[in-house]
Amino acid sequence: MSWKSRRPSRAFGQRRAGKFGCHRDYANPRTKGSEPMRGTGKADVFVMLAHPVGHAKSPGIFNEIFERKGLDSLMVPLSCRPEDFETFWAGITAAENIRGVIISVPYKTAVFRKCAAAHDRAARVQSANSVRRLPDGTWYADNFDGVGFIDGLKAGGHRIAGQRILQVGAGGAGSSLTYCLAEAGAAEIRLADIDSARAENLAALVNKAFPQCRVTVGEPDPSGMDMAINATPSGLKATDPLPLDVSRLTPDMTVVDIIMEPAETTLLRAAKEIGCRIQPGRPMMDFQVQGMSEFFDIERRSRSNG
**Strand locations in the chain (E):** 16-17, 23-24, 44-49, 73-78, 98-103, 117-118, 130-133, 139-142, 164-168, 188-192, 214-217, 227-230, 254-257, 277-279
Quick check: 155 and 283 in contact, CB under 8 A?
A: yes
Find the distance separating the first CA and the last CA of the chain, reported in whole Å: 58
Q: Which residues are marked as active site?
A: 107
Sheet harboring 73-78: ordered strands across? Answer: 73-78, 44-49, 98-103, 130-133, 139-142, 117-118
State yes or no: cis peptide before 280, omega within 30 of 0.
no
Please tell me the distance from the alpha carbon of residue 2 to that of residue 221, in angstroms, as a whole number.
87
Please tell me the distance from the alpha carbon of residue 108 to that of residue 121, in angstroms, as a whole number.
13
For residue 27, the number of C-alpha atoms closer than 13 Å in the C-beta half-sphere is: 7
Total residue length of the chain: 306
Quick check: 236 and 257 in contact, CB under 8 A?
A: no
Local structure of residue 82 (DSSP, 8 states): G
